Amino acid sequence: MKSLGLTGGVGMGKSTSAQVLRSRRVAVVDTDELAREVVQPGQPALAQIQQAFGRGMIGPDGLLRRAELARIVFADEVARKRLEEMLHPLIRERWRAQLADWRQRDVPLAFVVIPLLFEINEEAEFDETICVACSAATQWQRLRLRGWRPEHIQQRLAAQWPVEEKIARANYLVWTEGSLGAHAWQLERIIERV
């Protein structure tokens, strides 16, 4: 099985890439989805977050108050690192287990979407890496459409490497400025090569 790690900056098209790949019946695991799974009620990580960051992190419905946690951790690097130390091993365990299952079932090609692929030194786990990217102006526009305020965008960007560094380290680049068709076409060319 060929495995590819897919990364990119926030708002640059990682989730869209995952959707395109899935629509073409390519095996994809998205670590953002796994991050949501590991903090569901009953999961040990939720209790760890509550212990580390206080009771206010859990809503009356028993769910993680994601926006409140993000407000804290993206304003405080020490808090962010603490959260990453709790969650990253659990997330890594899940995507590795998924890859192992796909290998056992002779799936020919699999992608793992990891926003911090290079920052956490996981690129050696994959045969190839892809960075999805767009201009800073497009990135800001996309994030503003999500309702993010400028200070939140700055905080998120500060928590990741500059996209130029990710592009330089990746084997492939998918430029997401254009249409969805152009985005998909680039991914298809990469699939054909690998």
Q: What is the pLDDT along the chain (194 residues), one digit of tens a residue?
A: 999 999 999 999 999 999 999 999 999 999 999 999 999 999 999 999 999 999 899 999 999 999 999 989 999 999 999 999 999 999 999 999 999 999 999 999 999 999 999 999 999 999 999 999 999 999 999 999 999 999 999 998 988 999 999 999 999 999 999 999 999 999 999 999 98
Please tell me the distance from the alpha carbon of residue 37 to that of residue 97, in angstroms, as a whole number.
15
What domain range includes position 42? 2-193
User: pTM for the whole thing?
Assistant: 0.92
Distance in angstroms (rounded) separating the CA atoms of residues 152 and 114 = 21
User: What is the C-alpha separation between 3 and 5, in angstroms, rounded?
Assistant: 7
- Number of domains making up the chain: 1
Which CATH number characterizes residue 177's domain? 3.40.50.300
